[in-house]
Amino acid sequence: MFSFLRPLLPALLAAPLLAFAAPPEASTEHVQARLVSSQAAVAPGQRFTVALEQNIKSHWHTYWLNPGDSGQATTIDWSGAQAGPIQWPTPAIQAIGPIVNYGYEGRAALLVDLTVPADAKPGSRFKPAAEVKWLVCKDVCIPEQVSLGLDLPVSATAKAGADAAQIEEWRGAIPKPANFAVQLKPAPQGVRLSGPATGLNLPISKAYFFADTWGAVAHSAPQAFRAEGAGWVLDIPAGDEPLPAGKPLSGVIVLTTAAGEQAWTVSAPMPEGAGKGPGPADLSAPAAETATPPPAPESDLGLLPALTLALVGGLILNLMPCVFPVLSIKALALVREGNHKAEGLAYTAGVLVSFAALAAVLIALRAGGQQVGWGFQFHSPVFVLIVSYLLFLVGLNLSGFFEFGGSFTGVGSSLAARQGLAGSFFTGVLAAVVATPCTAPFMGAALAFALSQPAAVLLAVFLALGLGLALPFLLLAFWPAAQRWLPRPGAWMDKFKQFLAFPMYAAVVWLLWVLAQQAGPDGVAMALGGLVLIAFALWLHRAGKGVISGVAMVASFVLALSVIHWIRPVPADAHAAAPGSAIEAYSAGRLAELRAQNKPVFVNMTAAWCISCLVNERVALSRPEVKDAFAKAGVAYLKGDWTREDPNITAVLKAHGRSGVPLYLYYAPGAAEAQVLPQILTPGLIVEAISVPPASSRSST
């Protein structure tokens, strides 16, 4: 039917790419970012400098290469060009109570050298693109992200741009390699860094060392400076992860004279016998609570118990509201005549392939240093939008608005004969996708174990979880006796199939609500527009004829997909509680303050896309008896929202052996550790937990 579109395919495929071209400037609520090029035109093989300029909202800050006690460095992921490392300007010290961070306020320019491909043709365009992520903080920290790009002509001779002088000015803020040698010697609490004052002409009055490796030095500890002979000495306390002897300690030394500050990059090997610093902080002290939570302890669960728990957790997922409608669709398929065993295997293959793909993504992100967990993909508003499109299409299909097959599936009866198996495979994929916002009992321990293990073990646990999810339908397909429990075929099947569309539409509504938390009203409006375009394209498929109708249909789909490019996270206080509510926004500092006052604290780590979390809040946490118990015991209620990616909450989850939300913690007055409540709550369970005397409180997983 669509053979007339073949000549148009190149243009149609290029349309989304044109729509996705990234601009050189973009803004979030707290940062204006732009790419600045030193060149107006580039030559093949040329190496030149670009800058990521960040104009940061007043009183907010972003972070340096080593963010200090907390925070996260800005990252730039380039495509379309070979890029060198970020060249960082000298950071500033940002002290927040007992915490010391390193970063930038006001305006910062991060320089990067790009190389034009040697085979670039004069007359073509050089279009490097960058995905930029940063953490911007004030009294709260918000992860933000923008897509930026440049579009430069390629010519035989390079031409400097209007911003070349500005780039050189910014380059002056980049510390230069020191033209003098420094030495490291052991000291009682760490190391002693020393160097000459040669070439500075003026006496040095102050010095500070920024280590570029986290944990090598104690960021919040004072560095004692003194002049010594013709040089200077700086005592630097060791951090939580001091470097071994012989490994270079590198960073930026800032020396202050009457003429101002001079910054140099220095490096020296760690000496034998260096001190261990002040030692780990007392976790019960308020100061320690404001720091990043400690890493999760190694799980001693073992592979076989983890596989068993994952299998049982996958089975229970079938009873969750996420997955139950999908399972009903497949149960309906068993009522019809057909090769039930083949359909069961195809459905299982779809589930297992999806879980294997999810495990592969987790492995890759973990290898890149990211902290990830179950349901991490729902942090992305783009992923939420795509899933809402998918479920909307499934709903329209169940409603009979269109059918896969016929002209859509192509030519010949052979493809039509394979439609059932393809549908079963696709339904397995769909079941795996919609299962990820849910967390079932037994899953937490298994996933926490898997995420701390090598790639092969992680993959095995995820496949066990997928097998548990697929097992009910697989048993129905291979067990004829169980099939006799199903009702006989009849006219009711078509009505029931249409009824199953409504859970899909309800899921779309829920996803749009999640999108509203992430991308704001504008994001929801664009998503609704995309759904209208999808419905219009399918209507054209049913009602339209000819070339014009076909082109309009494809154009509608392309426009619906182009919405993906414009969906952006809306930076907002993700932890804000409702005005007048007894619930406070979670922060490590607030938790430490309450514990220092010897108050009982209940912590709820949740997310808008977590259905298990929402159910617990409706059936347990919002019940009058729970609220009354909290009021009588004087329990402070802190709520952390993981709807958007938040490295601070991710660290708390990891510290308590969890890979995702929900996580419920109760800190009894005077208790050394939090009591970890189960993932499925009841009012009685919560009331009982806060009624236990402090001496009896203990950690539970």
Residue (of 68, 49, 272) closest to 172 by Cα position: 49
Does the pLDDT of residue 2 top 50, yes or no?
no
- Kindly list the distances between the CA atom of residue 57 and the CA atoms of 65, 73, 88, 206, in Å, as whole numbers in the listed order: 20, 17, 20, 30
Do 606 and 667 form a contact (C-beta atoms < 8 A)? no
Instruction: Name the helix (H) or strand (E) containing 92.
Output: strand 92-96
Across 149-158, 218-227, 442-451, 462-471, least confident range: 442-451
pLDDT at 665: 93
pLDDT digit string, tens, across residues 619-629: 889 888 999 89
The pair of three-digit structure tokens given for residue 603, joined into one six-digit string: 């912590």
pLDDT in tens, 332-366: 655 555 567 788 888 888 889 888 887 887 777 66
The closest alpha carbon to 442, from 680, 258, 210, belongs to: 680
CB 638 within 8 A of CB 663: no
Q: What is the mean pLDDT of the chain?
A: 77
What is the three-class DSSP state of 159? strand
Peptide bond into 662 cis (omega under 30): yes
Within 13 Å of residue 504, how many CA atoms lie on the same side as its CB? 25
Secondary-structure breakdown of the chain: helix, strand, coil percentages, each rounded to the nearest 5: 40, 25, 35
pLDDT at site 410: 34
Provide mean pLDDT across the span 563-575. Answer: 61
Residue 621 is given by DSSP the state I
Domains of the chain and any CATH numbers: 23-172 (2.60.40.1250), 177-281 (2.60.40), 303-566 (no CATH), 583-696 (3.40.30.10)
Cβ-Cβ contacts under 8 Å for 195 (sequence gap 6 or more):
178, 180, 181, 182, 183, 231, 232, 253, 266
Q: Which amino acid is at 508?
A: V
Average pLDDT over residues 100-107: 92
Whether residue 447 contacts residue 314, with contact meaning beta carbons closer than 8 Å, is answered with: no
Mean pLDDT of 401-416: 40
User: Could you report the per-residue pLDDT of 530-557, keeping only the tens digit for each?
Assistant: 888 888 888 887 776 677 777 888 888 8
More confident residue, 289 or 141: 141
